[in-house]
Amino acid sequence: MEVWQKIGTYAIVFAVGGGLCAIAELLIVRTKLTPARILVIFLIAGIILEGVGVYDYIFKVCQAGISVPIVGFGAALAKGSIEMAKSVGFIGAFAGGLIRTAYGVGVAIVMSYIVTLLFSAKAK
């Protein structure tokens, strides 16, 4: 039974993550929104979901399908800001998001640097 439960979880994660990607692709194809604006829309959606308190409930069902895309990053920024604002005060709202997401951003920077060392870009 445990195997089927894992397969079900993977199916949900795949469907939710794929659904978010499909929404982004539809926005790119059907509207005049640039990819950068769509990224900001997804980021703000994550912040709003965390701010109103429903992100954790969605995460329990969707897991990595909702947390890995940029929506999860927005929620992490909001969660860090809310936690630090509660413990430190108003100034904590500015630092909390950065503190909570610093590790992921740092890893992304280091890995992108390693990739640039391994591969050379070619101009068209």
pLDDT at 104: 87
pLDDT at 45: 94
pTM metric for this prediction: 0.81
- Rounded to the nearest angstrom, the gap between the alpha carbon of residue 21 and the centroid of all alpha carbons in its chain is 12
Long-range contacts formed by 96-102: CB under 8 A, 24+ apart: 100/76, 101/73, 101/76, 101/77
pLDDT one digit per residue (tens) for the chain, 124 residues: 688 888 888 999 999 999 999 999 999 999 999 999 999 999 999 999 999 999 999 999 888 888 887 899 999 999 999 999 999 988 888 899 889 999 988 999 999 999 989 988 777 6
